[in-house]
Structure 1
């Protein structure tokens, strides 16, 4: 392990002086940054290095963790100078994709910051997707304005290699969407100049002004839709998600890739996930894909922000009428 560079240390010290508890933190320790791993003596071991271990140097291309997606978004992944929007409903796999991208960037020695404006980051889910929590800089500001200001200072100081913005559906009271939109455009410009990969998680229901600003600020827009659950017997053990290149400055739009996401739990069941013949697809219903409008006055249900929750099982319906008394029949 090695000490942080002077630029990173100075940026973090400035942020902590100005914002105190809202300044970036790491779920672990921010005192050190990872060094690239020493190359193995046996060249054959290079192909089998664990995903969680850093490789030599900081790559100019960040892989997404899904080879099929890497093949359609760029030359084997996302350029460090790119800006990307991931849009999808809850359980679409958008957060999982962002976490896998973070894990791949960390494996190449990159410093990653996660601006948790939606307050939805789950450390357990992140670790399950391969993220090294002790290398992840997490920003948990009180307000959207505060978070964007901190992110701007990190980008201006060239302190991070990847910055993830997990946006909330609505700005805080007193903050106009037009102001937030302008701040997002400035952040995108700073990220391009700093050659920092900017990843924006766009939730459904974003205001039109903010949605337009996000679209204009990013060069690549991926829309994710869950197409099927993957089952092992009756258990939901994964999902199939379709990723669509809706907009791209780096190639033609309209390309698609299928992402296969499995829910590993670290137990004995995980061994079965390695056998595709034991798994079956359960296609998603239309109601699972399209957001249905609730009647006026109906309280909105609490939708989990977990990237890949299993479907809820409905209780059995109540009987239509009173149950008839049981009768004993003669032999």
Structure 2
């Protein structure tokens, strides 16, 4: 199947190129950018003599004629316009931005500070969290790929939320990310001299992923209304760690919670539940599509601590997008995503 990537000059876009190149069923038909047309290897020299494609202009009619699948790896606020242009064609689209994730268009406007996509586009889009929305994804036309922070948070919370084991008003998510989550555009806040030997909080109580996390949690458990969610920048390139604190309704031993998670995720190829007393680190999932989860119940306070780690460019973006594409086309879910994490 032929794949086109729009926004291939960004970090998620170039990660998609890497994954499609090692995929047995997908082939790279074309790559596109709104910037200057040039060889992709001139933008990313590590692709020299590997990928020979030119970055081309975005021409929806031509792209739709030639491709079986289109990835939009473009920023929020841009994808919605492209999605509208492609809506008259019959090519499935996986959007890596936040433009099609929120069903409430007023929430999008409030949190993203931009006008929302058209309601018919939002209504058609399926939220692409493959571990929990497989059936919907398999029959979708539009897939809204989840955000990186929501992916780590939701995968960590799903079992106890769906089983109603926690106080619905007790969810606190302390999230940290590498600087690649901010994209490739130069900014003072993510420059070397600002981030090296530094660790800082940002968008305090204002991160645009808050309503996305709440929306999915409320689908699983209607008694959940709001969460506390804050984000920090780590002086590393890639990776996310979420440390989640929830109050259990009853006393459960850690072993029982671990058993629940192992049972619920036993058929999921990319979820790894750590054994008792072992907790994941970011480097253990680097450049892979894994989500590693560690768990501990504090018997003194009755709180459960959930530690969930992913690579933000893989499971948090391009890897999950390919996983969704596999499901959409009836391909083995892990195809093209078999990479062992890069270590050290």
Larger radius of gyration: 1
Q: TM-score, normalised by structure 2?
A: 0.29
Provide TM-score, normalisation by structure 1.
0.30
Larger RCO: 1 or 2 (CA < 8 Å, sep 6+): 1
